[in-house]
């Protein structure tokens, strides 16, 4: 089955530690996106990538980093510079810039 997988589903980290969230898709989509979801604020774009080896900052990129070495994979690193990292993180992909986005199941990160 084609789809987007995110792992792990739940993640706990101590304050000050970097953590990497995984996102893999087998839909052969060119574009991939990372969103952060907080209660009552909808989804906010962190980073996006339209092609391998290229990515752009979204609206709230500070304290995050990404890489896009393979078409299928778009990992997100939450660094210690992110002041409030506890949130639900969603990865998405799309065939191109004019197509709807498909979402993964999400990773809930809690920083203790």
- Judged by CB under 8 A, does residue 48 bind another protein? yes
Closer CB to another protein, 38 or 81, in the complex = 38
| Residue 40 region by backbone torsions, left for phi larger than 0, else alpha for psi between -120 and 50, else beta | left
- Judged by CB under 8 A, does residue 90 bind another protein? yes
Closer CB to another protein, 10 or 14, in the complex = 10
Contact 23, 35 (CB under 8 A): no
The residue range among 13-21, 30-38, 68-76, 79-87 that interacts with another protein, by the rule CB under 8 A, is 30-38
Minimum gap (Å) between residue 16 Cβ and another protein: 27
Task: Read off the tokens for 8.
Answer: 């792990």
Could you tell me which residues come within 8 angstroms of residue 17 by beta carbon, excluding any fewer than 6 positions away?
80
């Amino acid at each position: 089955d084609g789809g987007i997988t995110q792992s792990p589903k739940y993640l706990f980290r101590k304050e000050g530690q970097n953590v990497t969230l995984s996102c893999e898709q087998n839909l052969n989509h060119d574009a991939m996106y990372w969103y952060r979801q907080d209660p009552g604020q909808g989804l906010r774009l962190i980073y996006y990538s339209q092609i391998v080896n290229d990515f752009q900052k979204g609206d709230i990129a500070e304290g995050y980093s990404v890489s896009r070495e393979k078409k299928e994979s778009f990992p997100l690193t939450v660094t210690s510079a992110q002041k409030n990292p506890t949130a639900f993180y969603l990865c998405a992909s799309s065939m191109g810039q004019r197509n709807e986005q498909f979402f993964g199941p999400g990773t809930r990160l809690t920083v203790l």
